[in-house]
């Protein structure tokens, strides 16, 4: 079935965080919005139909799922990630950020050291610091448009700081790495050796681009199951972020008990009715839709890369192996952080995510969300080119 991803959908005045809160967030109105990681494409028809059916029923009482929910998850995880999950691993939470923060509280104590790899999704730092843990950074190595892991520093930081937990981001947000089997095993073996638990944020796992493969850390060795908390969600894949559903897999039942206990202490009990319905329908019927969507987004990524390399050689595009996010190095413009932010909004007319949001290692970078119509992407790229050209002329 062909899907029309070129069709524009007006999201203004829908209480969209991405489009309706520019002034509240210190931005000008009428910028091209390419910041927060949700997509400008309606979700698949089967999800909408399932939600309409529930709405027409008209009763929204307490809701739980039955075995068919897990069977749907199992089928998706098996076919897409080659991961054979079991029912007693599953804990449902209202989002991956909630799950990460819950794991921090449940599996570590105040003052414990937790390691992240910046530049990385900023809620990781917040989950550590807001819960009175010690933040340890193993910065990724940036070299000529690519990122890699500094394994020697990774292990040394673990030893020196007695790290208790590592938060992994794979696929990596914002740099777009999809870690190889060798990289993941090296990380996993170091964590096993030093009794470090791993919380793995794999929310972008369905956006893997040609030549790469998503591998779940917990699936690579039997021993990894004992140290792994794997966070997944349909929100990025099917544009369901506002419905707040994630599926967390914890094979180690002791860790799972502690995790669920922390949720109970928070007062949270059940996911919302519509979120559960949407999640199950998406995983049940979303294969064909996702295949076409991924092809469209991959073309957007290629278009953006080729445009920037040809028309804006002063910028460097980091190769995106996964996600629908483009990480671009603007340091060649010679602007400081404040000047770059002003340039992006006032001159280019864009609303992007500034690199320092992801840690000081992101200085001079900007994150683009290219999960939009190609016409929007081309307009944004041309506005950026005009802005850079005018900057060069004024020098």
The pLDDT assigned to 393 comes to 77
The pLDDT assigned to 395 comes to 56
Q: What is the mean pLDDT of the chain?
A: 97
Within this chain, do residues 262 and 298 fall inside the same structural domain, yes or no?
no
The pLDDT assigned to 18 comes to 95
Within this chain, do residues 30 and 105 fall inside the same structural domain, yes or no?
no
Within this chain, do residues 261 and 353 fall inside the same structural domain, yes or no?
no
Low-confidence ranges of the chain (pLDDT < 70): 1, 394-395
User: Is residue 1 one of the residues assigned to a domain?
Assistant: no
User: Is residue 250 one of the residues assigned to a domain?
Assistant: yes
The pLDDT assigned to 227 comes to 99
Helix (H, G, I), strand (E, B) or coil at 292: helix
Within this chain, do residues 157 and 91 fall inside the same structural domain, yes or no?
yes
How many residues are listed for the chain in this entry? 395
Within this chain, do residues 110 and 206 fall inside the same structural domain, yes or no?
yes
Within this chain, do residues 278 and 381 fall inside the same structural domain, yes or no?
no
Asked which of 254, 285, 316 is the last residue of a domain, the reply is 285
Asked which of 226, 254, 285 is the last residue of a domain, the reply is 285
Q: What is the CATH number of the domain that holds 114?
A: 3.40.640.10
End-to-end Cα spacing for the chain: 52
Asked which of 232, 257, 285 is the last residue of a domain, the reply is 285
Within this chain, do residues 263 and 331 fall inside the same structural domain, yes or no?
no
Residue 123 backbone dihedrals phi, psi, to 5 degrees: -60, -20
User: Is residue 364 one of the residues assigned to a domain?
Assistant: yes
Within this chain, do residues 97 and 137 fall inside the same structural domain, yes or no?
yes
User: What DSSP string describes 265-284?
Assistant: HHT-----HHHHHHHHHHHH
The pLDDT assigned to 368 comes to 98
The pLDDT assigned to 113 comes to 99
Within this chain, do residues 238 and 337 fall inside the same structural domain, yes or no?
no
pLDDT tens-digit profile of 354-385?
999 999 999 999 999 999 999 999 999 999 99
Domain of 109, in residue numbers: 59-285
Which H or E run contains 298? helix 287-311
Q: Which of 368, 370, 334, 374 is nearest to 348 (CA)?
A: 368
User: Is residue 5 one of the residues assigned to a domain?
Assistant: no
pLDDT tens-digit profile of 223-242?
999 999 999 999 999 999 99
Residue 336 burial class via C-beta count within 10 angstroms: exposed 0-12, middle 13-18, buried 19 and up: exposed
Q: Which of 277, 206, 240, 232 is nearest to 43 (CA)?
A: 240
Percentage of the chain exceeding pLDDT 90: 95
Within this chain, do residues 206 and 121 fall inside the same structural domain, yes or no?
yes
Within this chain, do residues 90 and 178 fall inside the same structural domain, yes or no?
yes
The pLDDT assigned to 325 comes to 99
How many domains does the structure of the chain reveal? Answer: 2
User: Is residue 167 one of the residues assigned to a domain?
Assistant: yes
Contact 91, 147 (CB under 8 A): no
Model-level pTM greater than 0.95? yes
User: Is residue 15 one of the residues assigned to a domain?
Assistant: no
């Amino acid at each position: 079935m062909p899907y029309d991803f070129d069709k524009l959908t007006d999201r203004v005045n829908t209480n969209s965080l991405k489009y309706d809160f520019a002034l509240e967030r210190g931005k000008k109105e009428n910028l091209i919005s390419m910041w927060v990681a949700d997509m400008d494409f309606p979700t698949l028809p089967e999800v909408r139909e399932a939600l309409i059916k529930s709405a027409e029923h008209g009763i929204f009482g307490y809701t739980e799922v039955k075995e068919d929910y897990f069977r749907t998850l199992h089928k998706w995880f098996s076919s897409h990630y080659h991961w054979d999950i079991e029912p007693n691993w599953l804990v449902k939470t209202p989002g991956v950020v909630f799950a990460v923060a819950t794991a921090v509280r449940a599996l570590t104590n105040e003052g414990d050291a937790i390691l992240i790899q910046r530049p990385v999704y900023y809620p990781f730092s917040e989950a550590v610091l807001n819960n009175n843990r010690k933040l340890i950074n193993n910065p990724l190595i940036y070299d000529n448009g690519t990122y890699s892991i500094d394994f020697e520093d990774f292990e040394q930081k673990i030893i020196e700081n007695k790290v208790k937990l590592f938060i992994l981001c794979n696929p990596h947000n914002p740099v777009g790495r999809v870690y190889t089997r060798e990289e993941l095993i090296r990380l996993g073996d170091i964590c096993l050796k030093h009794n470090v638990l791993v919380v793995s944020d794999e929310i972008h796992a369905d956006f893997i681009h040609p030549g790469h493969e998503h591998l779940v850390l917990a699936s690579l060795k039997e021993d990894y199951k004992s140290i792994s908390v794997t966070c997944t969600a349909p929100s990025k894949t099917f544009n369901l972020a506002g419905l707040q559903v994630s599926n967390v897999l914890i094979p180690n039942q002791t860790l799972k008990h502690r995790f669920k206990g922390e949720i109970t202490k928070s007062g949270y009990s059940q996911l919302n009715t519509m979120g559960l319905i949407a999640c199950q329908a998406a995983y049940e019927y979303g294969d064909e839709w996702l295949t076409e969507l991924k092809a469209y987004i991959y073309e957007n990524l290629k278009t953006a890369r080729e445009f920037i390399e040809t028309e804006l050689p002063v910028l460097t595009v980091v190769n995106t192996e996964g996600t629908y996010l483009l990480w671009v190095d603007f340091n060649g413009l010679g602007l400081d952080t404040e000047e770059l932010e002003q340039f992006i909004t006032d001159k280019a007319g864009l609303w992007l995510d500034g690199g320092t949001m992801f840690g000081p290692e992101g200085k001079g970078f900007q994150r683009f969300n290219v999960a939009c119509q190609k016409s929007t992407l081309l307009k944004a790229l041309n506005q950026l080119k005009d802005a850079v050209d005018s900057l060069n002329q004024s020098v």
